[in-house]
Amino acid sequence: MTMKIKIINPNTTQSMTGKIGEAATNAAAPGTEIVTVSPPMGPPSIEGHYDEVFATLGVVDEVRKGEAEGFDGYVIACFGDPGLFAAREIARGPVIGMAEAAMQAASIISEGFSIVSTLERGLVGSEHLVQRYGMQAKCRRARSTGLSVLDLEVEGSNARSVIVDECRRALEEDHSDCIVLGCAGMADLCRHISEQIGAPAIDGVTVGVKLAEGLISLGLGSSKRRGFAYPLPKDYIGSVSGYAPGPRH
Amino acid sequence: MTMKIKIINPNTTQSMTGKIGEAATNAAAPGTEIVTVSPPMGPPSIEGHYDEVFATLGVVDEVRKGEAEGFDGYVIACFGDPGLFAAREIARGPVIGMAEAAMQAASIISEGFSIVSTLERGLVGSEHLVQRYGMQAKCRRARSTGLSVLDLEVEGSNARSVIVDECRRALEEDHSDCIVLGCAGMADLCRHISEQIGAPAIDGVTVGVKLAEGLISLGLGSSKRRGFAYPLPKDYIGSVSGYAPGPRH
Amino acid sequence: MTMKIKIINPNTTQSMTGKIGEAATNAAAPGTEIVTVSPPMGPPSIEGHYDEVFATLGVVDEVRKGEAEGFDGYVIACFGDPGLFAAREIARGPVIGMAEAAMQAASIISEGFSIVSTLERGLVGSEHLVQRYGMQAKCRRARSTGLSVLDLEVEGSNARSVIVDECRRALEEDHSDCIVLGCAGMADLCRHISEQIGAPAIDGVTVGVKLAEGLISLGLGSSKRRGFAYPLPKDYIGSVSGYAPGPRH
Amino acid sequence: MTMKIKIINPNTTQSMTGKIGEAATNAAAPGTEIVTVSPPMGPPSIEGHYDEVFATLGVVDEVRKGEAEGFDGYVIACFGDPGLFAAREIARGPVIGMAEAAMQAASIISEGFSIVSTLERGLVGSEHLVQRYGMQAKCRRARSTGLSVLDLEVEGSNARSVIVDECRRALEEDHSDCIVLGCAGMADLCRHISEQIGAPAIDGVTVGVKLAEGLISLGLGSSKRRGFAYPLPKDYIGSVSGYAPGPRH
Amino acid sequence: MTMKIKIINPNTTQSMTGKIGEAATNAAAPGTEIVTVSPPMGPPSIEGHYDEVFATLGVVDEVRKGEAEGFDGYVIACFGDPGLFAAREIARGPVIGMAEAAMQAASIISEGFSIVSTLERGLVGSEHLVQRYGMQAKCRRARSTGLSVLDLEVEGSNARSVIVDECRRALEEDHSDCIVLGCAGMADLCRHISEQIGAPAIDGVTVGVKLAEGLISLGLGSSKRRGFAYPLPKDYIGSVSGYAPGPRH
Amino acid sequence: MTMKIKIINPNTTQSMTGKIGEAATNAAAPGTEIVTVSPPMGPPSIEGHYDEVFATLGVVDEVRKGEAEGFDGYVIACFGDPGLFAAREIARGPVIGMAEAAMQAASIISEGFSIVSTLERGLVGSEHLVQRYGMQAKCRRARSTGLSVLDLEVEGSNARSVIVDECRRALEEDHSDCIVLGCAGMADLCRHISEQIGAPAIDGVTVGVKLAEGLISLGLGSSKRRGFAYPLPKDYIGSVSGYAPGPRH
């Protein structure tokens, strides 16, 4: 079965988009065409609610264009799952948030996980998602490494060892059995971390690709009743007028 | 004590902004200057997650400008509380979401409330907020009237009686003691509804004004530690580059 | 708008009533008349469930008298919110519990708070309130300073620095962004604590005054349907016969 | 093993105290001495938060006296469990609330129960207890019969058939497997109801007697650490000065 | 990538095993070898906790043998997910419960789902799983069709239309956007139901196959720390002595 | 009142069965006949989900036989409450799980408890039960001593002091007021532990005996509606065919 999946890095940092695309492509099945993009506008990293507002614009724009381009499904490659519900409204096929995907996988292969993330200020965002996805009994703690998102892009930095150390502390102190990586920028480190800590580490981008492939192959897309029904056609004004949802034929 | 509060109608429908402004001004204390705006861009009504993405852009833009204009606090006048957390990041003073405000008031004056809202497709948004604000034990049900947001703006329509009827059903069937009005467009009907149903009806816009006044007068604004800390300075690219958070002096 | 609000210190310690009254008066709007009382009977401090039973008697008695005296609203100035629901049954206007008020304010200006209180034995009471008010996701921890309520009344004691130290630990260890002061006897320290710790500290008495003013000005009082309906008229016997609820004309 | 258990009817209606006492005595083991009392002061029935305040005074007074009289344990025979935590503070042995006891038994013998109670205004009280006792997943609904507490004391009334009918509706509509009787005044009807509906009906008074006997025989009483530690000695003033907790020798 | 997945129908009804196997095979990727089995012992259908005890024995036996046979992962094809945690202890690779899989998929493609199941007595089992998987906010109701499991195996019965009718009622009355089929015996009806009701219907067997394929291809298996660590080696006695976990080399 | 209660040690270690039987017999009322058994097949200790599957078989077999032998009720003497719901389906009288019993007692005599258990790998099982029984607000932590179940059977080991030390840490660090012993093998240590730590320690076996006695004497057994209705008659095949539920006359 052939299919086209769009991976959207909601931030504009091309080196991260490259890493994400490589991880996604490696994970994809033979018949799957993976296209990885970042929006042409927005923040270089998402480290708070304000950054997220502008990144969300890019996400929904990429899904909007993706529908015209014939994509069968989408993965949002930022741990905050920005724009997830709006994207599901405009997409025919499934839209996967990497955080939701990673937590679902973690709840299958373990009885408790820790999230290991970047800056402390982002933890409340993770905690909101844990609550929204009903993972309170499974997620034992969300942890910060103190690294910024772009620290992960610096060649030769100690980011890798800082993350491994925090993952080890998580297993020990939180009584967790598995680690959910809390940033798409860690996608390339997943296998290394897992080997170092002797327990599964989960990257939501690659899990998202497999979930999207699975749902698409079963013909399961966003339900168009009630919650994720297509936007009602209406005119928008001003700088966003081009995004107005038109009538569906 | 004098203070300036900006009321932001996240949609672009001026007649609704007018009604909201009138209700807010009537509710304000003598020394309070109320300025009510809608953004220059965005959807005319917010009826789903997709609309909300673009309305949110307008909300944070108005708060951003408001900080430069010297506002002491803000009320977001749409029942979905769009952009609430991002707005709190960039505001020095308090930012009130009308849904959070209304539910807090309802939980003080009653032991259980129903939300009476517009279209059925918006109910899941209300249910998310109920969960986010910890109101599961207080909110007995979120109900739809089947009215669109702009039906409320049509002179001579039967919207008023449709809403009153739904509120009556809510009191009877949900065992609720009070009604939370689920749309800023109902602000002008609040007193009428309350009189007709013989129980309190709560409009979050006016409650939001009083909450904002109260917190401002006590010197309580958005905590700048962790969750609502100012955005980190960084460059944005493309059409949103003008919104990039600069350094704070 | 002029209004009369009664602040009820449920314990009988006059020095604390004085402090509470001063804080409340300072917080009130120009047209608000603040009257602060303690009941003529009851315990000098409330440090457990047993003390609370007798303090509650005083609270409802003060509200009962307050209705005859023409008060428009009430604030219960003890962090356990004793007698809150009974008071709402007999009051026409709003009745604010300082704990509920403080937690609501904290959930607006921060993404997580700690309660800093007096004796360890009182923490379970705070935890019950956190659960009753749906604040489990917002309250990160209830903490004890080890101080008794009346330690706060001793001139020249180190209570102030003990509290500031515990607040600092809360911010650091609990990942909280703001502090809710867990005793009405700390009302006078609120500004000092906030300055020392560099984050908002919230005193529920003053927040309660502003909430009461706001709800009164909007005409919102205790719903008289179901949960807070007036007590049914009946005869009481023995030493409490004078409190029997009579018929309402 | 011989023991003395005090059953406290928190209201002052002697006919109800008689019924409760008879049910308790029938349930007790041979060596158990049952003493059933109502306080000398308070309301004739508890139908709201205000009534409960005054009934609570009587409950704690009876436990206070009971400790001097050498009772080994207590059952509070009103479905609101008034004064339960305060009573546990002053009692050495176990104090059982009939609502907690009934819900615990129901959660052992069924996978879901309904509470069938008296007036609609009391249902919120039952819902609070369901939440406090962690029974949200077990209690499928709290229902009102519309009967007042004292309707149950009227000879020849149709109260019995009204209750049976409501219990039948509960089994059918709520998908419940068992009924928790929501008023101590129904203690004498328990067996009759159970026979009529063909499913277990549970009266918390008798379950409370068995729980008290069981805990006493195992030497398990109220933990005197933290939550239920004895009240701190202090002076009370005014009409309640006689209740002041003294020093413990 | 080639892999071997064992689908375990925990009951012994071969016609159902056949249907399940056909659905699983159709869903599998080209390189996946699907083997579908029922245990050689156990009940013909699982309609209660007692049946489940014996079916569980068969499930763990099949996983135990599967490990020796070189399977890479497992799907438990009964909506009660019997033996799921025990299977995860003994399996190297992932073990998917069809109920967990179906609910995860439903929570991605909709904002609320209903479970449509067989006999009423099984609903409490579904409700337990909803709670265990943290799906309380997503699952709006578990519904019974009144059909027994084996009714689904009767050629020419009206089971199909009974199920479709119940699904329609669920969409209408529960405000659900999608249906989770609550029995593996409905696997062959999934597409038909979905077409008839105009909304997604989800069969957990096929979703389970895709999830297993995805996790296996990413190298994600049951974490061997703590919760799902291999059983400790010990001797069992009596009729189950052959199942004793031996030492791992 | 005379009655027969069967205590089932789900593991096959006779020394533990002996200890449990002694504790149960000491706790029983004069007219109660206590019979304590372990199944003739199964694991010598239950330390994980896999062991539990086989122990469950033994539990339901003992209850099945017990019904024929005329027992009035049952206590399952393993802290995982294995087979509890299945046993309730086939038993006429009450079936008590020692974990549920212990947690219920702890929630009566304290405002918060810790579970002190054996191996770390078993803690997730305890956490599941805490959630299933709605004890999240009462159970402050489940703790491991690192002891295996059979360590408790070794004469002269330091198990006793290891447990006492962990209980002391629990009281101190978890802010708990009472200890729930997390293994039936600690039944004989209960009084000793309680004396050493100066706070109540609860053994669920003895509490279970008293609960069973109480419910039996009140005529309260497993509700035969819906959730715990008798198994439907059907044929089982293979090695478990002898357990097939027959028709009820």
Of residues E11, E206, E225, the one with CA closest to residue E96: E206
- Taking 70 as the threshold, does the pLDDT of residue F201 lie above it? yes
pLDDT, tens digit, 9 for 90 and up, residues F103-132: 999 999 999 999 999 999 999 999 999 999
Q: Does residue D21 have a pLDDT over 70? A: yes
What is d(CA D185, CA C165) in angstroms, rounded to the nearest whole number?
A: 53
pLDDT-derived band at A42 (thresholds 50, 70, 90) equals: very high
Structural Rg of chain D based on CA atoms: 18
- Which residue bears the tokens 């009322």? F29
A238 to chain E, closest Cα gap in Å: 31
Chains B and F lie in contact, requiring 3 or more CB pairs less than 8 Å apart: no
Task: Take residue F13 and report the two structure tokens written for it.
Answer: 């270690």
Pick from B27, B138, B214: which is nearest to C207 by CB?
B214
Q: Judge contact between D4 and D50, C-beta under 8 A.
A: no
The answer to whether residue D123 neighbours chain B at the CB level (below 8 Å) is: yes
Query: Does residue F44 sit at the E interface (CB-CB below 8 Å)?
Result: yes
Q: In chain E, what residues touch F12 (CB-CB under 8 Å)?
A: 236-238
Physical contact, E and F (3 or more Cβ pairs within 8 A): yes
Give whole-number Cα distances, F225 to B199, C197, D186, F66, in Å. 40, 59, 23, 21
Nearest to F118 by CA among F82, F83, F153: F153
Tell me, what's the pLDDT at C26?
98
Q: What percentage of chain F has pLDDT greater than the value 90?
A: 93
Q: pLDDT at position B249, please?
A: 60
**E127 to chain D: which residues are within 8 Å by CB?**
137
pLDDT tens for F11-28 read 999 999 999 999 999 999
> Does the pLDDT value for residue A248 go beyond 90?
no
Instruction: Tell whether the model's pLDDT for residue F153 goes beyond 90.
Output: no
Q: What is the separation of C-alpha A245 from the centre of its chain, rounded to a whole number of angstroms?
A: 25
What does the pLDDT look like over E180-202, one tens digit per residue?
Answer: 999 999 999 999 999 999 999 99
> Are E79 and E204 within 8 A, CB to CB?
yes
Answer whether residue E106 shows pLDDT above 80.
yes
Q: What is the pTM for the complete model shown?
A: 0.97
Please check the confidence at residue D249 and state whether its pLDDT lies above 70: no
* Chain B partners (3+ C-beta pairs within 8 A): A, C, D, E
Taking alpha carbons only, the member of A96, A98, A94, A91 closest to residue A115 is A98
Interchain CB distance below 8 Å, F218 and D210: yes
Cα angle, residue D49 at apex, residues D45 and D52 outer, rounded to 5°: 45
Show residues of chain B in contact with A46, CB under 8 Å.
none
Q: What is the predicted pLDDT for the residue at D153? A: 86
What is the pLDDT at residue B30?
95
- pLDDT score for A249: 60
Element at A4 (helix H, strand E): strand A3-8
Rounded Cα distance between F178 and F198, Å, is 9
Task: Find which of F124, F129, F141 to mutate to test the A interface (most A CBs within 10 Å of its CB).
Answer: F124
Q: Is the pLDDT of residue F249 over 80?
A: no
Radius of gyration from C-alpha coordinates of chain F = 18
Residue A60 has pLDDT above 80, yes or no: yes
Average pLDDT over residues B4-15: 97
Q: Give partners of C (≥3 CB pairs < 8 A).
A: A, B, D, F
Share of chain F above pLDDT 70, in %: 100
Residue % of chain B over a pLDDT of 70: 100
Burial (CB < 10 A; 0-12, 13-18, 19+), residue F237, is middle
The HSE-up count of residue B125 (CA atoms within 13 Å, CB side) is: 31
Residues in chain F closer than 8 A to E123 (CB atoms): 226
* pLDDT band at E248; cut points 50, 70, 90: confident
3-state secondary structure of E140: strand
pLDDT tens digit string along D23-59?
999 999 999 999 999 999 999 999 999 999 999 999 9
Overall average pLDDT of the E117-128 stretch = 93
Model pLDDT for residues B109-151, shown as the tens digit of each residue: 999 999 999 999 999 999 999 999 999 999 999 999 999 988 9
Q: How confident is the model at residue B17 (pLDDT cuts 50, 70, 90)?
A: very high
What was the ipTM of the complex prediction?
A: 0.97
Q: For all residues of chain E together, what is the average pLDDT?
A: 96
Verify whether the Cβ–Cβ distance C83 to D42 is below 8 Å: no
- If one compares C220 and C247, the residue with the highest pLDDT of the two is C220
Q: Over pLDDT 70: what percentage of chain A?
A: 100
Per-residue pLDDT tens for A190-243? 999 999 999 999 999 999 999 999 999 999 999 999 999 999 999 999 999 999
The Cα–Cα gap between E107 and A81 comes to 14
Nearest Cα of chain E lies from the Cα of D137 at a distance, in angstroms, of 9
Chains that touch F (3 or more CB pairs under 8 A): A, C, D, E
Three-state secondary structure call for residue F151: helix
User: How close F146 gets to chain A, by Cα (Å)?
Assistant: 14
Q: Is the pLDDT of residue F180 over 80?
A: yes
